[in-house]
């Protein structure tokens, strides 16, 4: 498999910790570019995973089911799991990172030093909110804009929307059709981040992630809504660096 398509930044053996990052619906590796320098200052290498259907992979068909995507990602990352690493995912990306961690455990692969999820209810909960992926285009656009996921400039550019909306819809389908299967809690540190005003996940739904780890659990709340990772980026990255660095001393390969 061509890892270069999936990993714009190939993990370095010199890095104390590589952080594999998974985006929200419609997002790509470019979202994590501003993370590089702040995390590097605390010894963490940001390694975004570029999923099919976006940015330089826009001609490829996006995945619509988590159970089909995770084995592909696992195969790409396998050569780099012999060194300290962690997983991060926001919203849709959170469930991909979580299921990847569980798949790696089932296969006896080296576990992540830390799993960080943000902007998503715990996987074993049933989301009471209406689904988005099956809405008509105009209604979907309004809902996404209300969440802060569609900038005004994009809404005003039909030619760009024609490319972006099918990807967002496919990613939403991947997230909203996910069905949890019970397994023992993961033996890894787990941190759950949320926005104080996120309409997609409240504090109780975020804290429920605690049942998915047999190790240390931390819950962090930041100013902002569903996309607090952009609006409160500096504070979020500072805390992320601290949380990840806290476990570095106990990780060896």
**Planar angle of CA 109, 56, 156, nearest 5 degrees:** 125
Residue with tokens 């960080």: 116
Alpha helices in the chain (DSSP H): 3-6, 36-40, 66-77, 92-106, 137-147, 152-155, 158-176, 203-207, 228-231, 233-246
Look up residue 118 and give its DSSP letter. Answer: E
Could you tell me how far CA 98 lies from the centroid of its own chain? 9
What single string gives the DSSP state of each residue in 158-173?
A: HHHHHHHHHHHHHHHH
Distance CA 61, CA 53 (A): 5
b/e map 126-135, b = 16+ CB within 10 Å: eeeeeebbeb
Q: What is the DSSP letter of 186?
A: B
DSSP letter (8 states) at residue 226: T
Which of 18, 91, 118, 191 is labelled catalytic? Answer: 91
Q: What is the token pair recorded at 67?
A: 């159970």
| Encoded tokens for 87 | 């997983």
| Whole-number Å distance between alpha carbons of 175 and 135 | 15
CA-wise closest residue to 83 among 104, 56, 58, 113: 113
Could you confirm whether 91 is annotated as catalytic?
yes
- The residues that are catalytic are 91
């Amino acid at each position: 498999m061509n890892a270069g398509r999936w990993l714009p930044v190939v993990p370095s053996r010199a890095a104390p910790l590589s952080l594999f990052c998974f985006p929200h619906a419609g997002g790509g590796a470019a979202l994590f570019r501003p993370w590089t320098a702040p995390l590097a200052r605390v010894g963490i290498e940001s390694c975004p995973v570029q999923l099919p259907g976006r940015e330089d992979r826009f001609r490829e068909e996006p995945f619509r089911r988590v159970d089909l995507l995770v084995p592909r990602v696992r195969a790409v990352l396998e050569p780099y799991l012999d060194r300290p690493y962690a997983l991060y995912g926001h919203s849709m990306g959170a469930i991909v990172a979580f299921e990847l961690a569980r798949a790696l455990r089932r296969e006896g692969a080296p576990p992540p030093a830390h799993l960080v999820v943000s902007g998503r209810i715990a996987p074993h909960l049933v989301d009471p909110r209406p689904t988005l992926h099956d809405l008509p285009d105009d209604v979907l656009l309004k809902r996404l804009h209300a969440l802060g996921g569609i900038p005004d400039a994009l809404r005003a550019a039909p030619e760009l929307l024609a490319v972006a909306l099918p990807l967002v819809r496919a990613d939403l389908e991947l997230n909203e059709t996910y069905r949890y299967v019970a397994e023992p809690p993961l033996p890894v540190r787990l941190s759950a981040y949320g926005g104080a005003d996120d309409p997609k996940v409240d504090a109780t739904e975020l804290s429920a992630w605690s049942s998915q780890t047999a190790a240390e659990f931390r819950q962090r709340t930041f100013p902002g809504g569903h996309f607090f990772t952009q609006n409160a980026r500096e504070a979020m990255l500072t805390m992320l660096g601290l949380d990840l660095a806290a476990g570095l001393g106990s990780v060896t390969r």
